[in-house]
Amino acid sequence: MAGIGRQPCKVALQGVSSDDVTTTRADITTAPASRTDLDLAEELLATYGRLRRALLAVKTDDITPTQSAVIGRLIRDGAQSTADLARAEGVRPQSMGATVAGLVEQGLAVRESDPEDGRRAVVRLTAAGHEARDGSRATRARLIAERLAGLPADDRTALERSLTVLGDLIDD
């Protein structure tokens, strides 16, 4: 798959040297139609990884990626036990306990009695946790919006369509 229909492209990110982050994008006009599903899947994973690393390179808070995932889950699903969070995130309960402890220590979450079963503790996000997530998300969105502003109209249209297709793939 390496080099098939790909062109190097430097990414300029605020606070990051152009030598620190290099990415590539598929040239839609010259990409061969013969790529297999596996080739596309590998390229999608590689692109996701590059985007994730680029966003991590400019992050300004002390929240780890795992903590961020837990904050997102608590926002979406509400208060949960550490065991439920561990199952949902695919990690050991001991690892999730350490992640939750970090969130509690930072004041982003609290442990409290489960209202349905007082013997169990649940983790709930605090107002500071919501604010941290909102701030982090806004920073990342601004960074991406700055990059989108420089896209030609046809690339922007292709990206919009790709987001619809990706959403459909994920929802299946």
What's residue 7's pLDDT? 39
**How confident is residue 28, by pLDDT bands cut at 50, 70 and 90?**
very low
Mean pLDDT score of the chain, rounded to an integer?
83
What's residue 117's pLDDT? 85
Rounded Cα distance, 10 and 113, in Å: 50
**pLDDT surpassing 70 at residue 131:** yes
- b (16+ CB within 10 A) / e for 108-144: bbbeeeeeeeeeebbbebbeebeebbeebeeebeebe
What's residue 31's pLDDT? 55
> pLDDT digit string (tens) for 38-81?
999 999 999 999 998 988 888 888 898 899 999 999 999 999 99
What's residue 32's pLDDT? 55
**How confident is residue 33, by pLDDT bands cut at 50, 70 and 90?**
low
What's residue 15's pLDDT? 46
**pLDDT surpassing 90 at residue 158:** yes
What's residue 57's pLDDT? 84
The answer to whether the CB of 100 falls within 8 A of the CB of 123 is: yes
